[in-house]
Amino acid sequence: MPAKPVFPIKIFYDGSCSVCATEIEHYLRKDHGGKLEAVDISSSSFDPEPFNIPLSTFMFELHAISSSGQIYRGVEAFWAIWQAFPSSTVYGIMGTIINMPVVNPIARLLYRGFARIRPYLPKRHECDSETCKIGRKQCRIQLGGTMIDLLRKRRSIRKFTAEK
C-alpha cells in the first residue's frame, strides 16, 4: 500500500480526453474540503519541467502529486484521490480492494490497457480557448460525426452537426 497522501494533492489529467475529464470533474464536485487540485496537462500553458516528469509520461497515465511531493501514478493515483473522501464507504472499500495482492496487479494491467486505448477515445473540442477546462459552463465534445454541446448550468445537452 502506498503512503497516505498529504493534502491538497494535484491531479494531472488530460483535459482533451472526455472520459478523463469527466472522471476528474466527478471527484472535484465531491471535494468540498479543497483537498484536490486539477491540472490540465493538455493546456498549452502546462509546463512539466518543474515536476521533472516528461509530458509524454504525464500523458500516458494519470498522475497525482501530494503536498509532500509523493508521486502516485495510474491505479495508485486513483487510490490517492479516493483518500480525499474518508467518510465515503464506497471509496474506502474500493481503496482496500485495489490494494489487495491479487487484485492490484490485475487492476494495473487493466489500467495499462485503458491507457493504451485512451488516445482513440472521443476528444473534447475547443470552447473559446485552447482546451475545454473543467468547470466551464459550456463545452463541446465530438461523438462520431455529431458535435454535442454540454451546458453544465442547465444540465441539458443539445446536438449540433459537425462543421465541415
In the sheet that holds 63-65, the strands lie side by side as 36-40, 9-13, 63-65, 71-73
143 and 111 together in one domain: no
CA 99/CA 75 separation, integer angstroms: 9
13 and 51 together in one domain: yes
pLDDT score at 77 = 98
**Residue 142 confidence class, pLDDT cut points 50, 70, 90:** very low
The yes-or-no verdict on residue 10 having pLDDT over 80 is yes
Overall number of domains in the chain: 2
156 and 113 together in one domain: no
- Record the cell numbers describing residue 75, joined without a space: 491505479
Give the chain's mean pLDDT: 83
| pLDDT tens column, 19-29 | 999 999 999 99
Mean pLDDT for the stretch of residues 109-118: 95
User: Is residue 4 included in any domain, yes or no?
Assistant: no
Q: Contact, 84 vs 33, CB < 8 A? A: yes
| pLDDT tens column, 27-53 | 999 999 999 999 999 999 999 999 999
φ, ψ of residue 120 in degrees (nearest 5):
-95, 0
**Residue 132 confidence class, pLDDT cut points 50, 70, 90:** low
The yes-or-no verdict on residue 131 having pLDDT over 60 is no
152 and 71 together in one domain: no
16 and 87 together in one domain: yes
The yes-or-no verdict on residue 127 having pLDDT over 90 is no
pLDDT score at 123 = 85
H/E run at residue 103: helix 103-117
The yes-or-no verdict on residue 92 having pLDDT over 60 is yes
The yes-or-no verdict on residue 67 having pLDDT over 80 is yes
The yes-or-no verdict on residue 162 having pLDDT over 50 is no
96 and 42 together in one domain: yes
| pLDDT tens column, 73-87 | 999 999 999 999 999
Domain that holds residue 140: 124-161
**Residue 116 confidence class, pLDDT cut points 50, 70, 90:** very high
35 and 108 together in one domain: yes
98 and 149 together in one domain: no
